[in-house]
Amino acid sequence: MDKSSESVWKKCLQIIKDNVSAQSFKTWFAPIKPVKLEEKVLTIEVPSQFFYEWLEAHYISLLKKSIRHHLGNEGRLEYSIVMEPSVEGQKNPYTVKFPARGNAALRNNPVSVPVAAARTISNPFIIPGLKKVNVESQLNPSYTFDTFIEGECNRLARSAGFAVSSKPGGTSFNPLLLYGGVGMGKTHLAHAIGIEIKNKFPGQTVLYVSSEKFTTQFVEAIRNNAQNDFIHFYQMMDVLIIDDIQFFAGKEKTQDVFFHIFNHLHQTGKQLILTSDKAPVDIQGMEQRLLSRFKWGLAADLQMPDLETRIAILYKKMYLDGIELPKEIVEYIAYSITSNVRELEGALVSILAQASMNKKTITLELAKQMIDKFVKNTNHEVSIDYIQKVVCDYFDLPIELLKSKTRKRQVVQARQIAMFFAKSMTKSSLSSIGMHCGGKDHATVLHACRTVNNLIETDKKFKASVQELQKKIAVTSKQ
């Protein structure tokens, strides 16, 4: 590494760090390595083509600002893109000349990317009469990119999925492994990628299959002495999507046959898309040779949707179903159901069904009754968002003010009470609570909790308010 390039890049990072979130900095800037500095041209190494494209699309202005600050108006940036493992060590520099913006710079400076020659593996068995065009994709037509709501919780996964759908088998994301808890949208996104590929490349054979179905088919093939047919069928796919890959754990023969199918598809430039309820490193009972292959591409997580994303999901669902509800009801549902997308939509359906069956107008009171029952039946922990909503309603404050940096006494006290309840009524970390309350640190949360405890012991009026708030919040967390 060039010492001068390292010094300049460190100074650039100081500017960048002040202008992006901690998570964005960790994801998009921490992996970058400075390579060299020659004649006011700084070369940085990025992990992949997609990484380069993301920086160009989202952070080009910030990069320009930081480079110019330290190298002057003549400062330029050059990317060195690390190639895929098959040609490890080869790099492909793109020169981005300021004031060129985004990918326009790439079009003005085309660079050919060397691609490793695909190894041809002959099919072990040809099934008589079977043609690729006869393979049904098993994709759900309603699970499209249009119906998938993007938010901070899933942005990387969606962006990677869209990149794959534009160039299946031709990106660094092979395999693309989507992971996250139940109801976070993994299956929806996997189907959306498959549908987009079918639309853009009608000649490609795309197949979606659950891990249970794959295992059942394999057992049946063994019983019928048709393992070669089974293997060959899956090796014919251009895009193979397997849902809930974690269920292969502990099934040695299934893992073994999938290992060979995976190798063939990957080596012949076909696209693999996998989903799992956990990251590869956390999957127990899976062979190391498979886990290592899952890491060849990209593992992108889908997290719990934030409040804004939950509201957007509800509005999208209502639009698709031709439903209209008052804003206050939509927001109440979004505040109350924080676990996953599936249950968020389930709560909306429950309210609509109840109103329809009883021929009642949907009011906020009816929504509250239904949500209370729904939350009790689904056995949920109260959320930080809901605590903040109840506290803000009680003190008649907008939630934006609670999350602001204002030091007004009433706002500070409401914020401290929200932190106090978040610590005692949720499993969230102090850092997470602070982040939800306007980006405060864990020390601020601890101070808030101590302050509230002290006031409870010394101020009867304050204690009564806290007890009243506790009852209001507890409605959501009761079983």
- 139-153, 248-262, 341-355, 417-431 — which is least confidently predicted? 341-355
Note if the pTM is more than 0.85.
no
pLDDT tens digit sequence for 450-464: 999 889 888 888 988
What are the C-alpha distances in Å from 467 to residues 35, 336, 403? 59, 20, 23
Give the mean pLDDT of the chain.
78
pLDDT of residue 416: 93
Q: Which residue has the higher pLDDT, 306 or 44?
A: 44
According to CATH, where is 3.40.50.300 located in the chain? 134-301
What are the C-alpha distances in Å from 194 to residues 92, 141, 162, 279, 300? 29, 10, 10, 22, 17
Q: Which helix (H) or strand (E) holds 305?
A: none
pLDDT tens digit sequence for 69-112: 888 888 888 888 765 443 334 333 444 433 333 333 333 333 32
- Which of these CATH numbers, 3.30.420.480, 3.20.190.10, 1.10.8.60, 3.30.420.280, describes 307-378? 1.10.8.60
Tell me, which fold does domain 134-301 have in CATH? Rossmann fold (3.40.50)
- pLDDT score of 437 more than 80: yes
According to CATH, where is 1.10.8.60 located in the chain? 307-378
What percent of the chain shows pLDDT beyond 70?
A: 82
According to CATH, where is 3.30.300.180 located in the chain? 3-108
Q: Which of 75, 114, 68, 110 shows the shortest CA–CA distance to 91?
A: 114
What percent of the chain shows pLDDT beyond 90?
A: 12
Range of 1-15, 69-83, 190-204, 351-365 with top mean pLDDT: 190-204
pLDDT tens digit sequence for 223-258: 888 888 888 888 889 999 999 888 888 888 889 899
State the CB neighbour count (10 A cutoff) for residue 28.
18
- 77-91, 121-135, 209-223 — which is least confidently predicted? 121-135
According to CATH, where is 1.10.1750.10 located in the chain? 384-477
Banded pLDDT at 25 (limits 50, 70, 90)? confident
> Which CATH number describes the domain made up of 3-108?
3.30.300.180
Tell me, which fold does domain 384-477 have in CATH? Chromosomal Replication Initiator Protein Dnaa; Chain: A; (1.10.1750)
